[in-house]
Amino acid sequence: MNIQRWLHVHPGRRFVIGVPFVWLLIFFVVPFLILLRISVTDMGNGVNPFAPLMQAVDGSLHIMLKYQNYLSIFEEVDKGSGAKAWGQTIYLEAYLTSLKYACLTTILCLVIGYPFAYFIARAKKSVQPALLMLVMLPFWTSFLLRVYAWKGILADQGVVNNVLVWAGFIQEPLQLLYSDVSMLVGMTYVYCPFMILPLYATLVKLDFRLLEAAYDLGASPWKAFWLITVPLSKAGIIAGSMLVFIPCVGEFVIPSLLGGAENIMIGRVVWDEMFSSNNWPRASALAVVMILFILVPMAVYNHYGAEREAAGKE
């Protein structure tokens, strides 16, 4: 919307449209710019992350931007010679680990959440509020307490191992805690409602007469589901996947409590750089790169999605 059209819009509409933009400006753009400013700060020997970026020396204005904070993410230092080269740094490993667990969690949430959402959407109207309440009920409990509960469930002497030993399936407790299993279980449990609710919102509006028509034309239940239900629920799948994937990439609490030493995700690395190493510029650079990893693919997808939608209307 250009400025002239914006000025001719009714004041009430301008207010309704402007509120989300103001919200994004205050709670996303401004914090992001602060992170970006800290990420190029040269603290020198000091501990001030807001050290000046410009300095006047002998009548000249010097701009001091430390881009090394970004290069260090991709540069590997040889401990013997001290030489720098592009390589697999601990930061890149943390990014890849975060992306791996975020993708696996999103897939698990989709596999588990889709049947849940479909069942709720097909249930009786009088029962749907109660089923939705059960989905949202975990939000009434502290996030930290829910994650801690899984430590007791997955521990060596926890509920799962005790039941398996009692049933005779295993002789000794399995190492479930501080492993890939505990990480995926914890993240899937926490973020599954974020997948179920968008899927339900899409599936509940689905015209199920289309499925009946497909059955009448000889389609099997699986074929009708794959060719009708899934395409019509694509918007819910994309929305739920984004709601799960984005917070999973930067997850900090679950990897700290349920993950092992080899499950280092980027959220933990940023925490260590900021509060253990007191290197705020590098921590900010890591956070900026993580945000770009998420925003750039989303922007590209939205751009081409809008083009496809416009082409379809033509």
- The DSSP symbol for 219 reads -
Question: 123: which DSSP letter?
Answer: S
pLDDT for 5: 62
Same domain? 67 vs 117? no
Report the domain count for the chain: 3
Q: What is the pLDDT of residue 259?
A: 84
Inside any domain, residue 47 = no
Same domain? For 119 and 197 the reply is: yes
Note whether 201 and 268 are same-domain residues. Answer: yes
Q: Is 103 exposed, middle or buried (0-12, 13-18, 19+ CB in 10 A)?
A: middle
Looking up residue 175, the CATH number of its domain turns out to be 1.10.3720.10
Predicted confidence at residue 181, as pLDDT, reads 87
Residue 64 included in any domain: yes
The answer as to whether 45 is a domain residue is: no
Asked if residue 70 and residue 23 are part of one domain, the reply reads: no
In a domain, 46, yes or no: no
Please tell me whether residues 217 and 196 are part of one structural domain: yes
Residue 306, pLDDT score: 65
pLDDT for the residue numbered 8:
62
Examine the domain organization and report whether 224 and 238 are in the same domain: yes
Question: Which pLDDT belongs to residue 302?
Answer: 74
Phi (first) and psi of residue 77, to 5 degrees: -100, 125
Q: Are 102 and 183 found together in one domain?
A: yes
Q: Is residue 48 part of a domain?
A: no
Taking CA 131 as the corner, what is the angle to CA 127 and CA 136, rounded to the nearest 5 degrees? 145
SS3 251: coil
Per-residue model confidence (pLDDT) at position 86: 61
d(CA 254, CA 294): 20
What per-residue confidence (pLDDT) applies to 244? Answer: 94
Same domain, 67 and 106: no
Domain that holds residue 80: 53-87
Whether residue 7 is found in the same domain as residue 83: no
Q: Say if residue 153 is in the same domain as residue 295.
A: yes
Asked if residue 211 and residue 67 are part of one domain, the reply reads no
Residues 109 and 34 in one domain: no
Residue 135: inside a domain, yes or no?
Answer: yes
Compute mean pLDDT per 10 residues along the chain, 314 residues long, and list them: 58 76 89 91 80 76 81 70 63 90 95 95 92 91 90 88 89 87 92 95 89 87 90 91 91 87 84 87 91 79 66 58
Q: Are 290 and 282 in contact (CB under 8 A)?
A: no
- The string over 134-170, giving b where at least 16 C-beta atoms fall within 10 Å of a residue's C-beta and e elsewhere, is ebeeeeeeeeeeebeebeebbbeebebbeebeeeeee
191 contacts 244 by C-beta, under 8 angstroms: yes
Q: Return the pLDDT at 83.
A: 54
Calculate the alpha carbon distances from 216 to 136, 198, 220, 229, 231 in Å: 37, 29, 10, 16, 20
Q: Give the pLDDT confidence score for residue 49 in this predicted structure.
A: 83
Does residue 182 form part of some domain? yes
Go through the chain and tell me how many residues it has. 314
**Is 44 among the domain residues?**
no
